Structure 1
Amino acid sequence: MQIETKYTGKTTIDRENIIAFEHGVPSFEEEKEFILLPFSDSPSPFYILQSVNTAGLAFVVMTPFQFFPQYEAKLTDSVIEQLEIEDKNDVAVFVILTLRDTLEKSTANLSGPIVINSRKQKGKQIVLSDTSYNTKHPLVQPAEAGRGER
Structure 2
Amino acid sequence: MAMTTTQPAIATVPITFPVGVPGFEEHHRFHLVGLGPAYGPWLALRSAIEGGPTFVVAQPYELGVELTVEIDDLHQAVLGIADPQQVLVLVVATLRNPHPTVNLRAPIVVNVEVLRAAQIPQDRDDYLLEAPVTVPLYDTARLRPSEASDEPGADR
TM-score higher than 0.5: yes
Q: In the alignment, which residue of structure 2 is the partner of 1:132?
A: 126
Runs of 4+ in 1 over 3 A off after TM superposition: none
Classify the secondary structure of the residue corresponding to 2:55: strand
Q: 1:99 aligns with which of 95, 98, 103?
A: 95
Question: What is the deviation of 1:65?
Answer: 1.0
Q: Identity of aligned pairs, percent?
A: 31
The residue type equivalent to 1:120 in the other structure is V
Q: Deviations over 1:44-101 (max 9, x none)?
A: 2211001011335200001011224421112112211110012211111000000112
Q: TM-score, normalised by structure 2?
A: 0.73
Q: TM-score, normalised by structure 1?
A: 0.75
Classify the secondary structure of the residue corresponding to 1:81: helix
Gaps of 5+ in 1: 1-10, 141-150
* Whole-angstrom CA distance in 1 between matches of 2:84 and 2:34: 23
Q: Deviations over 1:98-136 (max 9, x none)?
A: 011211xx2100000000001111010010013410211
Classify the secondary structure of the residue corresponding to 1:111: strand
The residue type equivalent to 1:39 in the other structure is L
C-alpha RMSD of the superposition = 2.3
Larger Rg: 2
Higher relative contact order at CA 8 Å, sep ≥6: structure 1 or structure 2?
2
Gaps of 5+ in 2: 1-9, 135-156
Classify the secondary structure of the residue corresponding to 1:112: strand
* Whole-angstrom CA distance in 2 between matches of 1:33 and 1:98: 21
